[in-house]
Structure 1
Amino acid sequence: MPPADEHTGAGTGPASQAGTGAEDTLDLQLPDEFLALFGEDKPATVTPKPIPASLDGPLSLKESLARGGSTSTEGEDVSTGTVADAHPNQGPGTPGVASRLESDLLDNPAEWRPVTTPAGVFQLVPVRLERDLAVISRWMNDPAVAAFWELGGDEAVTAAHLRPQLDGDGRSVPCLGVLSGVPMSYWEIYRADLDPLARHYPARPNDTGVHLLIGGVTNRGRGIGTTLLRAVSDLVLDNRPQCARVVAEPDLRNTPSVSAFLSAGFRFSAEVELPEKQAALMIRDRAHRAQL
Structure 2
Amino acid sequence: MPPTDESTDPGTGTDCEDTLDLRLSDELIALFARGAGPGDETGGGGSARGQEWGPGRYAEGAADPTPDGSDLLDRVGGWGPAKTPAGVLQLLPVRAGRDLALVHRWMNDPAVAEFWELAGPEAVVEDHLLRQLDGDGRSVPCLGVLDGVPMSYWEIYRADLDPLARHYPARPHDTGVHLLIGGVADRGRGLGSTLLRVVADHVLDHRPACARVVAEPDLRNTPSVSAFLSGGFRFSAEIDLPGKRAALMIRDRALRELL
TM-score (norm 1): 0.71
Pairs within 5 Å for 1:153-232: 153-232=120-199
Which residue is equivalent to 1:26? 29
Aligned-pair distance for 1:103? 1.9
Query: How far did residue 56 of structure 1 move?
Result: 2.9
2:117 counterpart of 1:150:
yes
Residue 231 of structure 1 aligns to a residue in which SS? helix
Of all paired residues, the percent bearing the same amino acid is 69
Residue deviations 1:119-148 (CA, integer Å, cap 9, x gap): 111010000001100000000000000000
Measured in 2, the distance between the counterparts of 1:144 and 1:29 equals 35
Structure-2 change in CA distance of 1:24 and 1:263 (3 Å)? farther
Moved over 6 A (4+): none
SS at match of 2:142: strand
The 1:186–1:199 alpha-carbon spacing in structure 2 relative to 1, beyond 3 Å, is: same
Cα RMSD over matched residues? 2.3
Q: Give structure 2 stretches of 5+ with no counterpart.
A: 4-25, 34-51
Matches within 5 A, 1:52-131: 56-57=54-55, 64-65=59-60, 68-69=61-62, 83-84=64-65, 99=68, 102-131=69-98
Label 1:240 to 1:137 Cα distance change in 2 as closer, same or farther (>3 A).
same
CA distance in 2, matches of 1:260, 1:244: 21
CA contact (8 A) 2:65 2:93 kept: no
Q: Partner of 2:157: helix, strand, or coil?
A: strand
Partner of 2:254: 287
Residues matched between the structures, number: 219
Give 1:205 shift.
Answer: 0.1
Q: TM-score under structure 2 normalisation?
A: 0.79
Tell me the equivalent position of 2:36: none
TM-aligned CA deviation for residue 64 of structure 1: 4.2
The 1:129/1:64 distance shift into structure 2, 3 A limit, reads closer
1:15–1:149 CA contact under 8 A, matched in 2: no
Q: Which has the larger radius of gyration?
A: 1
Amino acid at match of 1:125: L
- The separation in 2 between residues aligned to 1:253 and 1:25, in whole angstroms, is 31
Alpha-carbon offset, residue 24 of structure 1: 11
Gaps of 5+ in 1: 1-13, 17-22, 31-53, 70-81, 86-97
In 1, distance between residues paired with 2:255 and 2:105? Answer: 37
Deviation, structure 1 residue 29: 3.1
SS at structure 1 position matched to 2:249: strand
